[in-house]
Amino acid sequence: MSFEIAVLPDPESLALAAADEFARSAADAIRKRRLFRVALSGGSTPRALYRRLTRPPYRGAIAWDRVRFFWGDERCVPPDSERSNYRMARKALLDPLGIPPRHVFRMKGEEEPEAAARAYEQTLRRHAGGFARLDLVLLGLGEDGHTASLFPGTAALDPGRRLVAVNYVAKFSEWRITLTCGALNAARRIVFVVSGTEKARAAARILQKGPGWRELPASAVCPRRGSLLWLLDQAAASKL
Ligand code: 6PG
């Protein structure tokens, strides 16, 4: 598994580096395939990145009408819930850029989870090709080594041939919809964006293949025919 690592001094420069990555992937995909298909990550870390993309130079540098938005995972909540990954991205990125709804393919957390997961798999296959080969997947990392909603010891880690699975996450008493490792690893490029000392232990275990590293779900993320970049701020990289 080959990958790049870049360590940035602080969260602001991490967001800038991630914005540069986003812009580069977008320009490349649009040049080669006329569209840029990106899966956004949830949680709180990417908010700074999304906000940065709505300001110069990124706002004017990216052909936003050629971008199609997907998600790596979603909490099974309504789209206007404070817990919704879609809501966070809509407020930080989609609304400020005026992205038309027809270019946004959200996981429907308000629907019955299994039905929503199956519907999303069809959406992915329809809009990202039969193998759901996204141009860029943005991912975060949890303290327990989870990514997207692939948590240690959960069913979605063994999805068979599914591209989208449902997962009950006991620690949050919450159902989630998530891309499976198979779907994530079909991407042309995957970029982890990781910030904060609370992620340092998991990041070091994965990147240095420390004791039990394979038990951490994020360790299974490696594009089959693509590239992988880990972007960390100094705090998240402090145990490397
Ligand atoms: C989610 C995310 C999840 C997130 C990590 C890190 O739905 O919460 O998909 O995988 O990326 O938990 O979250 P923070 O960025 O909030 O630390």
Nearest-angstrom CA–CA distance, 72 and 177:
9
CA distance 218 to 214: 9
Cα-to-centroid distance, 73 and ligand 1 (Å)? 9
Residue 86, classified by CB atoms within 10 Å of its CB into exposed (0-12), middle (13-18) or buried (19+), is: buried
The residue whose C-alpha atom lies closest to atom 7 belonging to ligand 1 is 42
- Ligand 1: centre distance to CA 32 (Å): 31
Q: Distance, CA 89 to ligand 1 centroid (Å)?
A: 13
From the alpha carbon of 176, which atom of ligand 1 is closest? 7
Substitution site in 14, 40, 45, 81 for ligand 1 pocket (most atoms within 8 Å of beta carbon): 45
Least confidently predicted of 54-68, 156-170, 184-198, 199-213: 156-170
Task: Note the pLDDT tens digit of each residue in 70-116.
Answer: 999 999 999 999 999 999 999 999 999 999 999 999 999 999 999 99
CA–centroid distance, 77 to ligand 1, in Å, is 15
The alpha helices in the chain, defined as continuous H runs, are 11-33, 46-53, 58-61, 85-89, 95-97, 113-128, 181-184, 200-207
pTM beyond 0.95: the answer is yes
